[in-house]
Every structure is written in structure tokens, then in C-alpha cells.
Structure 1
């Protein structure tokens, strides 16, 4: 009797489990970003344009979607965005040191996106997500350059940093092209308030290589642009842009 009741309970639960599997899952991915960089850095209202090196960077992410009402889905993404560069400066003050002559900069701008979002609608052809991105960064900018001391020129260094969260509005959408395995998607993160003016946008296309009940795997190709404009936060000012094409892989369990 107990076994029959257990079997009946399992059979009754199967439709609900199937529905939960349809709406719940884990997404993991990685992108290689051919990043071009340009920007100004400084202390307070004094900034200096640096010629920044263009480099390849990586972005990795993990997202968990679930069917629990009112509880947002969660996506964590780590972004490599460190860069360095050179400038010939004149009376450039950074970290209480005034530089004159050749100067190099090392900007550690790697950060983590903590994205909480809701699926507004989700069907086989299109979906739309909206939410909040808490972009957490532990930014450090270091300058090494020539400093005039009397009649001599010596090398000095200074560093400014900012550790904190930049809250941004988040939105993402995808449009599936029926019968092709291709889809077009886009994502936007933005804030324009007080000392923070920043955005992080990307648009791309992906193609499903594997599509079965156990796993989906897709390759991605797209373009991404990031703008960071932090105005004198903890004595650090950043006005920089990073953009370029990327290629990636996403897996859905």
C-alpha cells in the first residue's frame, strides 16, 4: 500500500518537475574579448590622457534561473579590464605628486557583476530580462614617472584606489530565428547619477551546437563596449572606454 502511494505521488509530481526543469537551469560561459582601450585618469578634477595598450581579455559567468516566485534569478560575471599605457606629461598631479616628463600608468579595473533579474517573458522565440547589476570593483590606478626635484629629475610613483559597488540598471533580450539554430541577443547595463556615469552594453549572435534534453551548448560572436566615468570617488577620477569584438561559448544545463 505504501509503495503504491509513493508511486502515485511520484507520478503526480512528474508534470511539475518537468515544468520546473523547463524554467530552471544553470548557465555557464566564457568570452574572449579583443579589447581596445582609451581614457583619462587623475585625482579630483585634474586628469591626463594616456595612450593605453590594446589587449585580449576574458569574461566568465555563471547564472542560476529558478521557478521560485518573487525571488530574482542570479548571474555572476567576472570581467578582466586591466590596462596600462604611456604619456609625456606636464605638471600632472596624481596622488600628491606632480609629474613632468615620461610617465606610465597601470590601471587595475577588473570587476565582478552581481546581477539580480526577473524574466518578464520567456517563450521559444524571444525573452526579456530586467533587473539590477551591482558592479563591484576593487580599482587601483598606479602612476610611475619623472619628477623634478631642484635641478634633478628622479622617478617617483603614486597610487589611488576605489573599492565599492556601482549600481546599474540591467536589461537583456534574445530573439530566436526559427529553424536555423541562430539567435540574436543584446544586453545593457547603465547608470547616470551623481559621480557615476557608466554603461556596459553588448550585442551579438549565437549558434546552437548542441541542443538536447540534457544540455545546450552555443558559440557566440558579438561586440561589447564599456564606459567608466567615475568623478572624484575616493580621490580617483576615471574616464575610460573599452570596446571590441568577442567570441564565446555558453552552456546551459
Structure 2
């Protein structure tokens, strides 16, 4: 999202909340230590690139209001940024009438996974009785960024020539011909697409003042991709006042991306780990 647009939304929501006691503005962010696993690439050549475990960032702004017909609004951005390296070895051989050929290929692959997405969510609060809340809505997940692979390959071809060299040699005498070729290649996939998802969130208050349990998730419901993104944890109120409430959140998040032909990108990736965050409520 353009930074100016995002700033304008926050400013508008802030003034709206200042003039209407029943309108709530929520702004929050998370620092997320994600463990990465899985593979990605083209349809028939996906590679496990041993992505590194990285710290990721997530932030959001939400507006809740008392008008029952209109949905509440939530906008969130998540960045998934990781690098990886892997080794791929291929060997094959072939026979002809005059020679036997062995081919050995060593490839060093470097991967860059720089994907982000913005969630535009419209949701309704189905339940809020002071002890428990339940939200249900729809999310449009707008993907951006890119995924890139670059490979440096060394190909060693050994040809054993069976051609008979004359009566002074027996017919088992052959020549080894070794040829080494270095090559490099790179591929880059843009991840521009919008995915519809179901949004669900719930929070339960504990008897201990200021402490609550929350769970939140988005799930895709189209046939092209299989995506789920959920988090669960605890909120603790640090500041409660007439002007602003501030709470600390800790928990666990899991993002799974099974992409089928997202601009020629195929993947089966998982990012999971603990996070810590802060939420302010005006």
C-alpha cells in the first residue's frame, strides 16, 4: 500500500474516533520470529532452498463502529523475507556403439523470497458480551513482491571412447575425454495477485483483570491456492485510560502458502514461530 494512502487512512480514522465515542480505532504491530520450510519454483522443478529463519514484521489498523449494517474495517500488512542456499547433484549416463558417456552436474542454488501481502478485511462482530467476542468476515489478500532463484552449475562430461586404435591395442583400450563447463542462470517470479479469504477472530477474557486469550485466522476458499494464516496467544492490558488503551500480545503464528500457478510460481511453504506485539486502542 502507498505510504501516503496508509497515513491518510490512519489520520481519518483518528479524527473519526475523536468525534464519536462509540467508534474505536485500533493500531498494532508484531515482531515475528519465523521458522521457514518447504519448496518453491516452477511446476515441475520445485526446490527446497533451505530458507533461513528470519524476523518478520506485521502491522494493522482497524476501525469498529456501532452501525449494525455496515461492516468493520481492518487493514493489515505482513512481510515474508528470507534467503536460502541449496546444492543439487545430478548424474546420468548413456551408451552408444562407440562410447560410454557419464555426465555429472553440481548446481549451487541461491534463493530470495521477498513476498508481502496486504489484507483488506470487512467483518462483523457477531458476539461481544464482555467475556467473549467473535468476529466473522471476508479478506482480500493482495500479494506483492517477488521470488527469485539463481543457479551456478558445473557440468563434467566423461566420454569413454571404445573405438579400436589398431592391432597394437586390444579392443578394450579406450580413451577418457573429460570436459568441464560452468554455467549460470536465474529466474524471477512476480507474486502479484489477489486472493479471497475467510476471516475469523475471537477473544476470551480471563478472571484475572486485563488478561485474555485470542485466536485469529484467514483461510482461502478458492480452488487455485491453499492458504491459511492463523495466530493464537495472550493479550495483557498495560494501560487503560479514557484517551487510549495499550496492550501487550505474545503468541504463535503459522502461515502456509500452497500456491498453484501464481504468475508461474508454485510453492509448498510454511512460516511459523513466536511473536510479540503491541496494540493501541483509541
TM tier relative to shorter chain: 0.7 to 0.9
TM-score calculated relative to the size of structure 1: 0.84
Aligned residue in 1 for 2:30: 31
2:44 corresponds to: 45
SS of 1:51's partner is coil
Deviates more, 1:225-234 or 1:142-151: 142-151
- How far apart are 1:212 and its partner, in Å? 2.0
Offset from partner CA, 1:130-150 (integer Å, 9 cap, x none): 001111111411111114588
Give the alignment partner of residue 189 of structure 1, picking from 210, 213, 218. Answer: 218
TM-score if structure 2 supplies the norm length? Answer: 0.76
Give runs of aligned pairs for residues 46-195 of structure 1, distance below 5 A.
46-90=45-89, 100-147=106-153, 151-195=180-224
- Residues of 1 paired with 2:106 and 2:198: CA distance? 41
Structure 1 unmatched ranges of 5 or more: 1-16, 92-98
The residue that corresponds to 2:21 in the other structure is 21
Compared CA separation, residues 100 and 157, structure 1 to 2 (3 A) = farther
Deviations 1:140-179 (A, max 9, x none): 1111111458841123222122211111111000001134
In the aligned structure 1, how far is the partner of 2:195 from the partner of 2:180? 44
Secondary structure (helix, strand or coil) at the match of 2:83 reads strand
Runs of 5+ in structure 2 lacking a partner?
Answer: 1-16, 91-104, 156-178
Shift of 1:220: 0.5
Aligned partners of 2:239, 2:205: CA distance in 1, in Å? 15
Matched, 1:240 2:269: yes
Question: Runs of 4+ in structure 1 displaced over 6 angstroms?
Answer: none
Deviation at 1:240, TM superposition (A): 0.4
Within 2, Cα distance between the matches of 1:89 and 1:83? 20
Is the 8 Å Cα contact of residues 191 and 199 (structure 1) preserved in structure 2?
Answer: yes
d(CA) in 2 for partners of 1:134, 1:100: 42
| Aligned length, in residue pairs | 227
Provide the C-alpha distance between the structure 2 equivalents of 1:59 and 1:166, rounded to a whole number of angstroms. 18
CA contact (8 A) 2:119 2:141 kept: yes
Question: Is the aligned partner of 1:203 residue 2:227?
Answer: no
Q: CA RMSD in A?
A: 1.9
Following the alignment from structure 2 to structure 1, what is the Cα–Cα distance between the partners of residues 264 and 43? 6
CA 195–148 in structure 1, closer or farther in 2 if over 3 Å, else same: farther
Mean CA deviation greater in 243-252 or 151-160: 151-160
Task: Give 1:110 shift.
Answer: 1.3
Q: Which protein is bigger by CA-based radius of gyration?
A: 2
8 Å contact kept, 1:45–1:232 = no
Measured against aligned partners, the alpha-carbon deviations of 1:23-42 in whole angstroms (never above 9, x if no partner) come to: x2100011110111112111
Q: Distance in 2 between matches of 1:100 and 1:236?
A: 24
